[in-house]
Chain A
Amino acid sequence: MTEKVMIFKRFERFWHWTQATLVIMLLFSGFEIHGSYKVMGFEEAVMLHRTVAWSLVTLWVFAIFWHLTTGEWKQYIPTLKKVDAMIKYYLLGIFIRAPHPFRQTMLKKHNPLQRLAYLFQWVVISPVIWATGWAYLFYDKWEVWGLDKYLVLEDVAFFHVVGAFMMLTFLIAHLYLITTGKTVWAHMKAMITGWEEIDPDAEES
């Protein structure tokens, strides 16, 4: 027996997929700027990176507004409860078809591990990328704003790339974890349609 629950609302899905596209474009152009490969050329990569970065900023303005006004920001409050159960599930349970220790609901759509991962995303990865990214974007204003005494381009670039590698790692894990739903495509479907099939036998957490 399963029941269908609306987990991801329309704006949330729009936000997610747009952000996903933008982040992948940023990674792709960013590593070209970094010198990891040559595909579109440095100038084009910089132009794209800037445009996409500003697009993401715009998207975030709306996303932050949405999270605040709907109270959805609470979804990201971390919890250590059942983290051990989640880890055990991924290490063992998933292979023997043990029941998922977490039950998705409208009020709690992220499992405890997810919450921790997203918290890390919000508290570490994003601030690093955004702080260094803004500094990078406005490199030509450092002198005017008196920032040149505190900032060194090499360090800013270093930490921006640190952030990029964390983001890339996050993306790889994220892309894999979407296959760990009830079926391989269940989470993916939910992110597209909004509806997740919930197993009512799973414990409420």
Chain B
Amino acid sequence: MKKLSKVVFHVGRVFILFTLVTGHASATSTADHTKFKELQVLFESGPEVTSACIKCHTEAAQQIHKTKHWTWEFLNPDNKQRVGKKNIVNNFCITPKSNFEHCTACHIGYGWRDNNFDFTSEENVDCLVCHDTTGAYLKSGDNAGHPKESVDLSYVAQNVGKTSRDTCGVCHFFGGGGNGVKHGDMDDSLAVPDRELDVHMDAVGADFTCSTCHMSIDHDVAGSRYAPEAKHTDDYHVHRRASDEENNAHCRACHGNKPHKKEDKSRLNHHALKIACQTCHISRMARGGVATRMTWDWSTAGKLDESGKPEQIMIDGNLVYDGRRGNITYGEDIEPEYIWFNGTVRYQLLNEKVVLNEDGYVHVNDFEGSPDDGKSRIWPVKVFRGVQPYDPEMNRLVVPHTTGSDEASYWKHFDWVKAVQAGMDSAGLPFSGTVDFIKTQMSWPINHMVAPAKDAVACDECHSKNGRLKDIDGIYIPGRDASEKLNFYGWLIALLTLVGVVLHGFGRIFSHFWRRRT
């Protein structure tokens, strides 16, 4: 019986591999888009394709209009901050403001060049970037999200299907302007990961796509780093997204609250009250062979070579200095940092004065939490540290206009004042005319690249003196924490007893021989 199931297993594996290689998803759909007359035309542009799509999928574009993917905006229900890609600043490429034409290569739409973009346009929704199954659809790097001219739009449109790791990854793997740059837990190694890299997305195993966890309702995808679910709750969610408010993009949705079933591991269920699943089960970041950026110093940008082109230094295939960007460092297969996190993220917004924290950094975002608020758990984060331009007189972070080929573009003319002036004008924000640089840091939650159980963080990596949680305060961790006084007196008393009995013993031996002598 065991042998048979093994054979079935291997046949299944081969079958899955085969379908992966031949790559047709048509078996799961009742519609063959190649047969639709509407798609058998020569499309000249992205919006033309969308016009065809929404003839049948009548609600799709309007659904997209309501999502963060479209608006790049999010109102945090916890602290009422208006965030989202459109509003916040980061310490990578800083902000899409004044750089939309370039940055909207990752917008789910066509034509967002500047502040005049029409957010009500249905035909400007980009269906293909998410529903392409061919891999042939590519957006142009500098054309406001329009596809490259070389793309055969009819071919792509006739082969649409469900989203995949590839379609989501085309933007999310490359956040921050390159493969693996931003997140630390997402890069193109997750396109076809093995079991060791991600136990769920294992391409010849469970083969989860992004949407297996990030389920969508009406095109609204669950799970957001702006308001993640961080705390431990008692609810047991079945893995189905029944309402808009429900977020199923977390471990508990499938595993429940007591996932450690084996008797000898059941104690770990209790750990989950204070520790996020990710803390143990994602032992290291950037494990797939792609380095993630760890620091970025914009203040050193601007060095040009003799021909007037920005200098570039590559080490091990990573750009470590770029005249346009400054100094950059990388990390691969590294331990995350750990913090108390309750799910509320506060951003340093452009209209707020910067606050230098005790650690010497302005926190571009702050993961709030404490051991005592009853809501926080210990989370792994990638902390990205940088030096970025700010206005020392207004005491605010600034919007630099980096992209494009106009007079003010920093990447063309390397003049910070001009670039920031243009950026702030575009954002409608005041600027003193002075640019200086300030140290900033930003945290990113680590959620992906979940290792198989055998590779989870071992007990003594935290239950030890200089372990992973050495900086986590507010809890007693056996093996890490011990009363110094108790240890001192405890060992002292044991030692004195030992010395005492040894001396007593010597006394007896001595008196024994003394008596024999006399």
* A residues neighboring B (CB under 8 Å): 33-36, 38, 41-43, 46-47, 90, 94-97, 139-140, 152-154, 157-158, 161-162, 164-165, 168-169, 172-173, 175-177, 179-180
Contact = CB atoms under 8 A, between A and B. Distances in A.
Contacts of B481: 154
A177 B269 CA distance: 46
Nearest to B266: A140
B224 interface: no
Given A34-B478, A162-B490, A168-B494, A46 B459 contact: yes
A163 B515 CA distance: 41
Contacts of A46: 459
Interface in B483-518: 483, 486-487, 489-491, 493-494, 497-498, 501, 504-505, 507-508, 511, 515
Contacts of B482: 34-35, 157, 161
Contacts of A33: 463, 478-479
Contact of A172 (B459, B464, B465, B498): B498
Contacts of B494: 165, 168-169, 172
Contact of B480 (A35, A36, A169): A35
Given A35-B465, A35-B482, A43-B458, A172 B501 contact: yes
B267 interface: yes
Contacts of A180: 508
A195 to B, nearest CB: 24
A6 to B, nearest CB: 28
B407 interface: no
B358 interface: no
Contact of A140 (B269, B497, B504): B269
Contact of A169 (B270, B493, B504): B493
B265 to A, nearest CB: 10
Contact of A176 (B459, B487, B505): B505
B473 interface: no
B36 interface: no
The 7 A-B pairs of least Cβ separation, nearest first, read A165-B490, A140-B270, A176-B501, A42-B460, A154-B476, A95-B511, A43-B459
B78 interface: no
Contacts of A42: 458-460, 463-464, 479
B507 A35 contact: no
A161 B490 contact: yes
Contacts of A179: 505
B235 interface: no
B245 interface: no
Given A38-B460, A157-B478, A172 B270 contact: no
Nearest to B504: A176
B264 interface: yes
Nearest to B475: A153
Contacts of A47: 264
Interface residues of B, number: 34
Given A169-B494, A169-B497, 13 more contacts: A34-B482, A95-B508, A96-B515, A97-B515, A152-B476, A157-B476, A161-B483, A161-B490, A164-B490, A165-B491, A165-B494, A168-B494, A175-B501
B511 A96 contact: yes
Nearest to A179: B505
Given A165-B490, A176-B505, A41 B511 contact: no
Interface in B87-124: none
Interface of A is mostly: helix
A120 to B, nearest CB: 14
A71 B482 CA distance: 42
A34 B491 CA distance: 13
Given A140-B269, A173-B497, A173-B501, A43 B460 contact: yes
A169 B264 CA distance: 32
A95 B507 CA distance: 7
Interface of B is mostly: helix
B488 to A, nearest CB: 11
Contacts of B493: 165, 169
Contacts of B505: 176, 179
Contacts of B491: 165
Contact of B486 (A43, A94, A139, A162): A162
B486 A161 contact: yes
20 contacts: A33-B463, A34-B479, A36-B487, A38-B460, A38-B464, A41-B458, A46-B459, A47-B264, A95-B511, A96-B511, A140-B270, A161-B490, A165-B493, A168-B490, A169-B493, A172-B494, A172-B497, A172-B498, A173-B501, A176-B504
A157 B490 CA distance: 14
Interface string B239-277: 000000000000000000000000010110110000000
Contact of A41 (B459, B487, B507): B459
Interface string B395-422: 0000000000000000000000000000
Contacts of B497: 169, 172-173
A90 B479 CA distance: 39
A176 B509 CA distance: 13
A153 B267 CA distance: 15
Nearest to B511: A95
Contacts of B464: 35, 38, 42
A123 B515 CA distance: 41
A9 B505 CA distance: 29
A127 B102 CA distance: 71
A139 B459 CA distance: 17
A97 B514 CA distance: 12
Nearest to A40: B460
A90 B264 CA distance: 48
Contacts of A36: 487
The listed residue with most A CB atoms (<10 A of its CB), out of B478, B486, B508, is B478
A161 B488 CA distance: 12
B275 to A, nearest CB: 13
A100 B227 CA distance: 78
A111 B508 CA distance: 20
A179 B505 CA distance: 9
A90 B515 CA distance: 17
